[in-house]
Every structure is written in structure tokens, then in C-alpha cells.
Amino acid sequence: MNNTIINDFLEKYNQKHLLQYEDKLSNDEREILYNQISNIDWSFLDSLSKKESNENSIIEPIGALSISDIKDNQASYKATGIKAIQDGKLCLLLLAGGQGTRLGHDKPKGCFNMGITKELSIFSLLMEHTLKVVKETGSWIHMYIMTSDINYQDTTSFFKEHDNFGYNPDYLHFFVQELNPATDFNGKILMNSSHTLALSPNGNGGWFSSMNKAGLLDEIFNGPVEWINVFAVDNVLQGIADPVFLGATIESGKMCGSKVVRKAFPEEKVGAICKENGKPHIIEYYELSEDMRYQTTEDGALAYGFGVTLNYLFPISRLKETLDSKMPLHVVKKAVPYINDKLEYIEPTEPNGLKFETLALDLIHEMDDCLVFEVDREKEFAPVKNKSGVDSIDTARELLKKNGYEL
């Protein structure tokens, strides 16, 4: 793209400030800036004017398979799951493209050391959980690892340095998700140097189209894989490739599965699974009305009391059908490092800008129904989101210790 076209674009989208330091740039820097500008998918700006509303939707509770229901059929579910894994019907997707701004670690979140007297990184824990199933089934399972441009190098180097944590490298596939510009509250794109835009990963919902762009889907579509277990990087206790979860989802005949935990208390800040207009849906804690928050079922449990853990099973066949539809972008307020008018680099601690993200919950909504699969939060839910307080390094370390880990 030449200078005139770039100028026209910036004029059209009211972003001329991106060229304010142009006179000071070297040729190489100018090229970097032009490249970044010409790679922007400007449709992201449409989401600023779209109102996120579900005013006309009917929200209802959804039934779940409780821990005791699962125990009653454990053997059958497990046998079904193990057979499916041995037949190559499962692959895994680790969502590791986030920036973990709340944790504030300068490396990928997966590299964070949960150990105190020894090294016990989040990645090593996740790989250890997966290797348990590999051993139990005697089958390697393909694992796709989504990073962003920002953390790809650090992530792949960390795996290499640790000899892939004992995982067969032929079964590990790293790929990169797309980036979107971040803006200030007025929709002006922020810059993080005189010649680079403040770009950030486009959320955790667009992974299937990113896998497609990375050319990874042919091998999946042409092979035996029927299910993909998608999970977040930050729950250090979660069961991955869990044969019982897989078997229960297959036996239920439902389109997808979601691992959930019972909310610790009604006000807990966790998205709850429910139905919207008959389809599975995740309602954020702040979207629940006062009545819904405390509503109970006949047995006295919270009607919207199953919090999602970001560990799902999706069917490849249905995902394939969703490839043509564009995932909606949500506008999220976050702390975005930027340069000010004096070219000083500022790292805010409070939200100062907007990021544009696809969300996993929109993919859930594409499914006809969902097996809501309860897990014991003491054994399977230790998210590392914050430096301290709720869902933090400290709370996750406590849970790891309770589960017999030496830190």
C-alpha cells in the first residue's frame, strides 16, 4: 500500500493521528507502520457502534450432570472415552494467546512458575495432566497450542528448553491467532511506539478460524478426529482429555460438553451456563438480574449456579459449519500500554482503552445443546488470573497443595 492509499484509509476511519510521527521515522520504521496499517481489518470499528443486547431473548436455567450422577456411570463413561481416544477421535486445543494483563507476568502465562522451592510452570502442569491420559490410553493425542504473535517465540522456546515436557513433538502444533488494534475510549487506535500500533490478540473465540488460516484443518478434516477439547491455559488443576467427560458427552448424544463448577456463592464473578432461546449460552455474572442471581431449583440449588471453567468439548462437524460465519467482536475495557503525545511509554494499571475480542461463549451459542458436566472445584478448578486475592497465584497454590503437589 502506498502513502496515498494509507492516507485515504486513515482519513476515512478518522485515524490520521497514526502518522503524526512519520517525519521522524526511518525507512524501515515507516514500512513497519504502513504494513501494520494495511493489515488492519477495519470492520473491527463496527463493533463500537453495535449495541450488545439480549433484551428480547429468553434466558432459562439448564440441567447438569452432577458429580453424583457422573459417579453412578463413571465406568461406562470412562470406557467410552478411552475407546474414542484410542480410535483417534479426540484432539486438544490449548488457548494460550492471552496477554494475562491481570497477572502482570512479562512472559506467557504458561511459563509462570507455580513452584516455590522448585520449578513447576503452568505449562508443565498442563502437560503432566495430559500425559496421564496418554499413559492410561496408550495413545498420543494431537495438541494444538494457540499463541499470539506477541508470545509465540517465548512459548515455543519454553517448550523446546523443557524438551516438550515429555510430550511427543510430532503431536504438538503451535499456531498464531490474529491481532486487532486497541483504541482509546473514543475509538482512536493507540500506538505503542512512534511506528507501531498497540495490537492485541483478538480474543479466545476465533480459534477455529485461526486454525483454518494456519492450514491446520485439512489434517483434522481428513482424519478420524471427531471432538476437540478446548481449554484455557490458566486452570492449573483441570482434567485435560478427560475420558470420563468425553465418554459422558458422547453417551449423552448432546452436541457439545462444558465442564462446570458449582458457584461458591451466588455473587461469585463467574459466567454461568444457561439457555438463551433454547440454545446453550453463558451469562456473565453482571448480566444476571437480582432475582436470577438468587433463584433456586426444586432441590434448593442455584438455578444459575454452574460456572464455566473454560474447558469444552466441541464436535468438529459442527465447527466446520460455523467457519463461514464471522464471530462477533466484543468491546472490552482493558489496560493497554501506549505512548503519549511526548512519546513516553505508559503502562497503565487501570483500563484506559478498548480491545476487540471474539469470545468462546459465542461458539457455545452455535451449538444445539450442551452436556453440562459438573466437576469438583477443589480438585479441578484453580484458575490463575490475578496476582493476589481471588483466583490468584496464592489460591491456586493452596489448591495444588491440597491435591498433593509439592511446591
According to DSSP, residue 327 is labeled P
Task: Tell whether residue 99 is a contact of ligand UTP (CB under 6 A).
Answer: yes
For 289, other C-beta atoms within 10 Å of its C-beta total: 10
Choice from 61, 81, 97, 181 touching ligand UTP (CB under 6 A) = 97
Q: Which is nearer to ligand UTP, 167 or 207 (CB)?
A: 207
Q: Which three cell numbers stand for residue 382?
A: 484453580
Choice from 65, 189, 233, 361 touching ligand UTP (CB under 6 A) = 233
Rounded CA-CA distance 166/189 in Å is 42
Q: Which is nearer to ligand UTP, 115 or 351 (CB)?
A: 351
Rounded CA-CA distance 150/199 in Å is 9
Q: Which is nearer to ligand UTP, 94 or 370 (CB)?
A: 94
In the complex, the smallest distance separating the C-beta of residue 310 from ligand UTP, rounded to whole angstroms, is 6
Q: Which is nearer to ligand UTP, 78 or 385 (CB)?
A: 385
Q: Which is nearer to ligand UTP, 80 or 204 (CB)?
A: 204
Task: Tell whether residue 95 is a contact of ligand UTP (CB under 6 A).
Answer: yes
For 136, other C-beta atoms within 10 Å of its C-beta total: 13
In the complex, the smallest distance separating the C-beta of residue 97 from ligand UTP, rounded to whole angstroms, is 3
Choice from 61, 100, 239, 307 touching ligand UTP (CB under 6 A) = 100
Rounded CA-CA distance 309/290 in Å is 23
In degrees rounded to 5, what are phi and psi of residue 92?
-125, 150
In the complex, the smallest distance separating the C-beta of residue 199 from ligand UTP, rounded to whole angstroms, is 11
Task: Tell whether residue 146 is a contact of ligand UTP (CB under 6 A).
Answer: yes
Cβ proximity of 122 and 110 under 8 Å: yes
Cβ proximity of 249 and 364 under 8 Å: no
How many residues sit in the footprint of ligand UTP (CB under 6 A)?
A: 22
Q: Which three cell numbers stand for residue 253?
A: 448424544
Task: Tell whether residue 307 is a contact of ligand UTP (CB under 6 A).
Answer: no
Cβ proximity of 81 and 247 under 8 Å: yes
Contacts of residue 14, defined as CB under 8 A and 6 or more positions apart, other chains included, come to: 187, 188
In the complex, the smallest distance separating the C-beta of residue 407 from ligand UTP, rounded to whole angstroms, is 22
Choice from 197, 212, 234, 249 touching ligand UTP (CB under 6 A) = 234
In the complex, the smallest distance separating the C-beta of residue 183 from ligand UTP, rounded to whole angstroms, is 16
Rg (CA), the chain: 22
Residues 10-69 that bind ligand UTP (CB under 6 A): none
For 154, other C-beta atoms within 10 Å of its C-beta total: 14
Per CB under 6 A, the segment of 51-59, 115-123, 199-207, 209-217 that binds ligand UTP is 199-207
Task: Tell whether residue 125 is a contact of ligand UTP (CB under 6 A).
Answer: no
Rounded CA-CA distance 138/364 in Å is 31
Rounded CA-CA distance 188/352 in Å is 12
In the complex, the smallest distance separating the C-beta of residue 332 from ligand UTP, rounded to whole angstroms, is 8
CA-to-CA separations, 249 to 165, 255, 307, 312, 347, in angstroms, rounded: 29, 8, 18, 10, 44
Choice from 15, 121, 204, 238 touching ligand UTP (CB under 6 A) = 204
Per CB under 6 A, the segment of 18-26, 51-59, 93-101, 278-286 that binds ligand UTP is 93-101
Contacts of residue 76, defined as CB under 8 A and 6 or more positions apart, other chains included, come to: 247, 251
In the complex, the smallest distance separating the C-beta of residue 385 from ligand UTP, rounded to whole angstroms, is 6
In the complex, the smallest distance separating the C-beta of residue 272 from ligand UTP, rounded to whole angstroms, is 16
In degrees rounded to 5, what are phi and psi of residue 89?
-85, -5
Q: Which is nearer to ligand UTP, 109 or 263 (CB)?
A: 109
Binding site for ligand UTP (CB under 6 A): 95-103, 109, 146, 177, 201-204, 232-234, 310, 357, 385
